[in-house]
Structure 1
Amino acid sequence: MTRRSGVRDVIAYNWPQYAAGLVAAGVCAALAGRLPYPLRTMARAGSAAAVGLLTSATVASWLVYDRSELYDYDWLDTLLPQPPSEHLVVGTGLDEASAPLAARWPASRQITVDLYDPAVMTEGSVRRARRRVPPPPHALPGRPDALPVPRSGVDAVFLIFAAHELRQVKDRERLFEECARVLRHGGRLVLVEHLRDGPNTAVFGPGAWHFLPRAEWLRLAAHAGLLPAAEHRIARLVTALAFTRGPA
């Protein structure tokens, strides 16, 4: 399966932020020559910082989405003890996981649920991503507190760059509770996210505040009765966490 350029998609989804950064850098550079010495230095530093941040974020996105192991999904072998017989893919507007996972496990029954709610998920990047990559036709609508899957219905649940789009704490808690509900005993929830940590803050700057810290994901899992089972780091910027459902 041939993928489009990941970094090109990131820029397409977030082009207003890129445009704002370039405009800010240009304005600071243009004003620098007309300002007195202390302010001139600050303007030039601001221009350099804006360009540097855009560059580091773009290079990081290229390394993660175009050059890393992320989209070959072989790293799943370190998180799952065996291929699932039935699995659930949960999306929140952009689903790039269901097709490759279906191809990876053709004998596994797949359920795809789309939680996108335009009244809640108002960020322009999500709308642009959704227009560029529409949800698969078989995707079922759902809510964080109501996944259309029976109790103990699947062996694995995948939240791949999805859960952080639920900006309300209660919605995330309800989603994790639902994931625990639909998992069979011994099943696993696989969560893939950038974390709000040192490496991501270093390359994405303020943009890293869109991510959630590791402690919050661990708290959500514990809240739902899920136990940490395995972890895999991808390109030093993406973390894949597996949680397991213990005895009821």
Structure 2
Amino acid sequence: MEKISRAPFQGIGNIIRFNWHFYVLFLLLLVVGLLFTQYTLTRLMLCGAAIATLLSLLVSWYIYDRSDLYTLQWLDDMGLRPRHIVNIHAGFDETSHLLAHKYPEADLQVFDFYNPEMHTEVSVERARKRYAPYAGTKVISTAAVPLEPASVDVVFLLLAAHEIRDPSERTVFFKELHRCLAPDGKIVVLEHLRDIPNFIAYTIGFLHFFPGATWKKAFNSAELQLEKEKKITPFLSAYTLQKNGTAS
């Protein structure tokens, strides 16, 4: 099957484009601090912050432009047999066209749970303005996924579920996915974790991610069984879930 190519530096370009306010503010603080401060310690701290920022950009370039993330080859050993698949995102969708290309025989539905009153990331707002949604995308509520019970073979949640910041909302959402999942169906959740590799890469920015224990608690609360956990890169973890009591 022919691969879908991405533009060079597309991933890191989007990160800078959608978060430009952070980088402009930091650059201003860095220049002003280095020009006007007389304290060596302050200068060293600013240089350290600059190095940390450059490191985060380098890691992001590796993840989003150089790794196998968007080839979707990491899905090949997960035992997926998709006939009816659902891709759910949080306002910015880079994967639906890739999934449609990888599983051309499957029926694909795309849902967007982004709610500007609850999910308040300015970067998502900018992404939504720049990129048109995948054709046929439906806006949904995390509390009511518009699918029949036991009707879906695979649900994909790729770098999206962390935007659900409220634990109770997260539990309700995964219970909805449990309801919609076929008896032998699977849910694939891909996320950065609040762990050491992501702290090294993003320093305090890793607080935007959740620890692995938080995800596992949400899965258990929704009576979902963790079938498999794997690393896509040192910074990304993929969880394959199924209904409790389902044989592998």
- Give the TM-score range, shorter chain: over 0.9
RMSD across aligned positions (CA)? 1.3
Q: TM-score, normalised by structure 1?
A: 0.93
Give the alignment partner of residue 202 of structure 1, picking from 178, 197, 200. Answer: 200
Write the deviation string for residues 194-229 of structure 1: whole angstroms up to 9, x where unpaired: 111000011101111111111111110000001111
Give the alignment partner of residue 20 of structure 2, picking from 15, 18, 22. Answer: 15
Write the deviation string for residues 167-214 of structure 1: whole angstroms up to 9, x where unpaired: 211221111111111111121110001111000011101111111111
Q: What's the CA shift for 1:116?
A: 1.3
Partner of 1:128: 126
Between the aligned residues of both structures, percent identity stands at: 33
* Secondary structure of 1:78's aligned partner: coil
Q: What's the CA shift for 1:157?
A: 0.6
After TM superposition, the structure 1 = structure 2 runs for residues 154-193 of structure 1, keeping only pairs within 5 Å, are 154-193=152-191
Give the alignment partner of residue 30 of structure 1, picking from 20, 35, 39. Answer: 35
In 2, Cα distance between the equivalents of 1:78 and 1:21?
42
Moved over 3 A (4+): none
Q: What's the CA shift for 1:117?
A: 1.1
Partner of 2:113: 115
C-alpha spacing 1:246/1:186, structure 2 compared with 1 (3 Å)? farther
Q: Report the AA paired with residue 52 of structure 1.
A: I
Write the deviation string for residues 109-163 of structure 1: whole angstroms up to 9, x where unpaired: 1111111111222221110111122222301121111011111110111100111
Q: Report the AA paired with residue 56 of structure 2.
A: A
Residue segments in structure 2 that go unaligned for 5+ positions in a row:
none
Q: Report the AA paired with residue 156 of structure 1.
A: V
Residue segments in structure 1 that go unaligned for 5+ positions in a row:
none
Q: TM-score, normalised by structure 2?
A: 0.93
* Secondary structure of 1:116's aligned partner: coil
Partner of 1:75: 74
Q: Report the AA paired with residue 135 of structure 2.
A: P
* Secondary structure of 1:84's aligned partner: coil
After TM superposition, the structure 1 = structure 2 runs for residues 30-69 of structure 1, keeping only pairs within 5 Å, are 30-32=35-37, 35=38, 40-69=39-68
